[in-house]
Structure 1
Amino acid sequence: MTVYQLPAEVGAFARYLRELVSRLEPGEGWYGVFASRDPEGLRACLDGAEIPPWDVVESLLQDLGEAGDGPRAAHARALHTAAAAAHDRRPGGEEALHERLESMERERRYAEDRSHELSARLRADPASPDTARLTGELAWAQDDHHRATSRTTELTTRLARLAAERIAGPGPIPYPSPSRTPSPSPAPGPGAAAPPPSAKGVGGRRRPRGARYAWMDEVAEGRDGGPVAVPELPMGGVAPRGARFGGAEARAAAPPAPSSTVTGEAAAEAARAASNAVYALRRLRAQGRSGEAHALLCEAVAGPPAWLPALATELHRVGLGADWATLLWEAASLPPGRLAAVAGALADAGRAQDCDQLLRQGVARPAEELAGACAALHAEGHHREAHALLAAFVRVRTPEDAARLASADPHGLVPQLLDAARTVSPARERDLLHALRVAGLARS
């Protein structure tokens, strides 16, 4: 009989996970939710047969009162990253990731449709006696959406890592750091349904309520120390979704931005919005409400792209550059048109480095989406940024992926991709040309 031995990295993470849950109270907090809703899935993770999504580990850390951006979370993240990479390299690992990605995308679409349905019912009759129940269901539907979309991003990144390793060997693509991927709210584990809206974590503390509550606490500490109502800030969307909630919902949420730059009164409005957002963000950080702080950043990403340079300036001015990095990470998962609009706004404001970072982070998404982003950049006259996007793509993705990208618009994208590959290296250009010939997109 053949005995399968776990890779060392997987074994190390499984031991860490077992030690972590041994410190938790059975039946309480998110650990209790995972154990009751999906005991087999939890057991598989503890045995090392499966690697849980990062948000599950983050939720367990929250049960212990650990900060999502603290040293213990960083240690857990490093173990999780190494274990996931080793797990994915096993025979059949890539196929399993593709299957999970398809399943998670179906869950994301279902949660998106459910959110639309509940939002429409609430708008149609806000005075209904069912308003409280529907509001709670909407919050959970949005949490489901966030969980599915964040896991979709994680799976896509893992697939991109495998593709890059085929070119450059193990270890070329790191996963996002814990400070850049906090979840607005902890989420149930693999296959777990959401607990009732009145669920509380260890110590009786109510779980974070999601992005749409970021500005709607009943009272908060005011600038003068007294209790004041927290206003809803004008950073965009009416529903909390964040960049990873892409698609028509995110596009509809943001006020239209006819131009990627702002002048005059519009510039003053952007400055006011940035000041309000940073004030609220600092308050949330000071109170340890990191989930709601992250939700605020997601709201900003869903707002007018032309406002973001002002927000970047204000964040750096008060020493919150790490939050700007988080915002850029969220923006990298925007729908193609929105991604291009944000990149263009940053470029027009002279923030070329931020623009390039955003585009580099966006290349893990499906090739078809990147074709749309590239076309949108060219349509707005941002040719340098379109070239930077393609150069980042051919640097970390396989030549076969580049050929799939080119197939979306062979006449326009084939010469652009070859030019981008040429700036990376002659070898990359040769590999791409071969892949294009095999795909029938270039002459033999």
Structure 2
Amino acid sequence: MTVYQLPVGVSSFTGWLTELATRLRPGVGWYGVFADRDPEGMRACFDGTEILPRDVVESLLQDAGEAADGTFAARGRTLYATAAAAHDRRPGGAVALTERREVMERERRYAESRARELGGRLRAAPAPGPDETARLEHDLAWTRDDHARAAARVRELTVRLARLGEPRREPGREPGTRPDGGSAAPVSGAGPAPAPGPAPAPAPAPRGKRRPRGARYAWLEESTEGQEEQAAVVLPAGGAAPRGARFGGAGPAEGTGGAAPVIAADPPGAVRAAGNAVYALRRLRAQGRSGEAHALLCEALGGPPARLPALAAELHRAGLGADWSTLLWEAASLPPGRLAAVAGALADAGRAADCEELLRQGVARPVEELAGACAALRAEGHHREAHALLTAFVRVRSPEDAARLAGADPRGLVPQLLDAARAVSAARERDLLHALRVAGLAGV
């Protein structure tokens, strides 16, 4: 009889998840909703055979009353990233992710269509009666949540796939099934949805046409030619920070929003692009399109890193500090070179606290990727940030992991890791020295 043993990263996260469950009331809040909608999917996630969608983790933390920036939540996010990476690297993992993303994209489109239908019925003439209006508004609220969760999961799965490479589907496999025939989309945010046909591929842009402009494209690389033609958008005053599962229930980040560092220089179009994006974010949220707002926010990570400090300042100025925290969390999953570029841009702009927060969240990555991030930071002259990354690493990862990291570049990383361990504690330095000796790297 073959016994499947969970990867260490997955088992550590399921242990944390079980601890979180002890702080929840069964049948109450989001925990009750998800357990009622998909009990088998929840059970699979607690067993470690599937990975709980990240938006569900945030909802459960909200149920438990855990602070979004608290120690318990931060540990959970670190363990989640490690578990997801280990789970995705299993044989067939990339194919399963691809198929799950297709399922969630269909759910997103269905929820979007359903929301339009419900909105039209609410606006119909003659107006529905009070009871019918209340029912439609209730259904619309749930449909919007379904849409937002599906959109967030599409984004999450896309990031995870980017780290593995897009696979081809196995012949004969139906979308939405695992290689063992089970469901590939546990803990749905929506009920059974019709499966529309695949969306047509977007038509290529005609040659000779000007590049798209506006808030949706604010983060595309632009040539300096024609920049003056894009008018700045005036940001409306006031408005509350977003709340809910996708933002950990948090309001504006305290201690950072009121005193954002001043950007020393404005890279071409940075302030204008930030203003456009924040304006678009607030309009999307006002229309209940929070999933699209989240996707728009994350598009910033695909643009020039030098523009991110301006976006941070604009988000804090608009009272959207929670969005900036979300963006830093997403950035922690970027490829090593991109992660280093973002960290460097934040450091250069004087946002040291943001830079260190990003690096702390990034230490859950595989050691090979962290070695690449350290090398990229040092190549750009960001030695302080490389030290901060290694210090965070030796604080939360095992000495054996640190020895594996050192093996990627013994001459460069052994002394740097020892310096980082020394900054944590004398005991951590001794543990690391022992692990290095066992790995044959102590004399390097």
Distance 2:397 2:348 in 1: 28
Corresponding letter in the other structure for 1:234: A
In structure 2, the CA distance between the partners of 1:112 and 1:234, relative to structure 1 (3 Å rule), is farther
Is 1:111–1:145's contact at 8 Å kept on the other side of the alignment? no
Asked if the contact 2:219–2:303 (Cα under 8 Å) also holds between the matched residues in 1, the reply is yes
- In the TM superposition, residue 294 of structure 1 has moved relative to its aligned partner by 1.1
**Pick aligned residue for 2:53 from 38, 52, 55:** 55
Match of 1:421 in 2: 421
**Residues 254-279 of structure 1: CA deviation (Å, up to 9, x unaligned):** xxxxxxx9956x34x01111000000
Q: CA RMSD in A?
A: 5.1
Distance 1:416 1:408 in 2: 13
Contact 1:111–1:142 (8 Å) recurs in 2: no
Q: Provide the rounded CA distance (Å) in 2 between the counterparts of 1:151 and 1:15.
A: 33
Match of 2:63? 75
Give the Cα separation in 2 of the matches to 1:142 and 1:320.
Answer: 18
- 1:113 deviates by 12
Taking the aligned partners of 2:402 and 2:275, their CA distance within structure 1 comes to 41
Q: Quote the offset at 1:353 in angstroms.
A: 0.7
Q: Which deviations, in whole Å up to 9, do the C-alpha atoms of 1:94-151 show, x marking residues without a partner?
A: 999945652575237757999xxxxxxxxxxxxxxxxxxxxxxxxx999667337559
1:236-275 to structure 2, matched below 5 A, reads: 236=220, 263=265, 266-267=267-268, 269-275=269-275
**Partner amino acid, structure 2, of 1:192:** S
Question: Deviations for 1:142-178, whole angstroms, at most 9, x for unmatched residues?
Answer: 966733755999xxxxxxxxxxxxxxxxxxxxxxxxx
Structure 2: state its 5+ residue gaps.
1-14, 67-71, 103-149, 164-174, 203-212, 223-262
Q: 2: CA distance between counterparts of 1:98 and 1:202?
A: 29
| CA gap 1:350/1:105 in 2 versus in 1, 3 angstroms | farther
Equivalent residue for 1:135?
Answer: none
Contact 1:340 1:377 in 2 (8 A): yes
CA offset at residue 440 of structure 1? 0.4
TM-score normalized with structure 2 length: 0.55
1:355 paired to 2:368: no
Q: Distance in 1 between matches of 2:441 and 2:19?
A: 43
Return the letter of the residue paired with 1:146: E
Q: In the alignment, which of 20, 26, 34 is matched to residue 33 of structure 2?
A: 20
1:235 to 210, 219, 229: 219
AA in 2 matched with 1:54: L
> Cα distance 1:203–1:363, how it changes in 2: closer, same or farther (>3 A)?
closer
Give aligned pairs, total: 302
Alpha-carbon shift at residue 235 of structure 1 (Å): 1.3
- Gaps of at least 5 residues in structure 1 are 1-5, 24-30, 36-40, 59-67, 89-93, 115-139, 154-186, 214-228, 239-260
CA separation in 1, counterparts of 2:274 and 2:217?
10
Q: Which residue of 2 aligns with 1:253?
A: none
Counterpart amino acid of residue 55 in structure 1: P
Matched with 1:384 is: 384
Q: CA deviation at 1:188?
A: 7.4
Distance 1:95 1:22, change over 3 A: closer
Question: Is the contact between residue 176 and residue 183 of structure 2 (CA under 8 Å) also seen in structure 1?
Answer: yes
Change in Cα spacing, 1:396 to 1:73, as seen in structure 2 (3 Å) is closer
Distance change (3 Å), C-alpha of 1:408 and 1:232: same
Aligned position for 2:313:
313
Aligned counterpart, 2:364: 364
Asked if structure 2 preserves the Cα contact closer than 8 Å seen for 1:107 and 1:148, the reply is: no
Alignment identity in percent? 54
Matched, 1:337 2:337: yes
**Following the alignment from structure 2 to structure 1, what is the Cα–Cα distance between the partners of residues 417 and 35?**
51
**SS of equivalent residue, structure 1 residue 418:** helix
Deviation of residue 55 (structure 1)?
A: 2.4
Closer/same/farther in 2, CA of residues 441 and 234 from structure 1, 3 Å limit: same
